[in-house]
Structure 1
């Protein structure tokens, strides 16, 4: 079994990298970045999780519509792309694929081979998980 992904940097540096990535993502979306205590706390927790050893293999971003979950996920993806972190066990660099939860359900039902390939990704960001509530995939 592979070890959980971990950034090789201090928690403080990871926090500032994540903050810069989020600010860049917000600017890319032609919006104005507004910091808040909640956002700063979430960034601290994410930076901690990304820089410390843990047996937990995932992170869940929770909240209502418009609180920045997708923005944070996309910012993390852009940060990984910018850092060019080599994969420890094969060629290439670390990255995260972001997919919509409905697409995963669709693949599971209609193209199981593609679904199995998707879920074997090193890192997978599932967006709009809440949109799956009450949805039937049978």
Structure 2
């Protein structure tokens, strides 16, 4: 198996998560707001953040600021659903690549390992492509 250079996208992923690191705000956010929710409200908010693949605080800040700026639009809901599906596909491809890598490691040398290695690398390239498309969609959504 030949070593391919790690893409910038892959290098920025948080270890074990497959997610990319969020860029720091400029200027940094230094103000906090505290508010109370019922258990049901908190659970609904946490679920919405998870569906969007956002940290809870980042999701709340983004949602509130989108509303304040008037940039939250209903038509974006469909794009967000497609983005969620695309990210799920990326995760499935990533898992397939991991499985192929594990199978290749278990085989005796020369026993289809080159083909499995090539397949695993193809999966990694597909994951990078899916991640790039998902990132492009994220940048275009408010």
Same fold flag (TM > 0.5): no
Higher normalized contact order (CA 8 Å, seq sep 6+, divided by chain length): 2
TM-score, structure 2 as length reference: 0.27
Greater fraction of residues in strand: 1
Q: Report which of the two structures shows the higher radius of gyration computed on alpha carbons.
A: 2
TM-score, structure 1 as length reference: 0.27
Greater fraction of residues in helix: 2
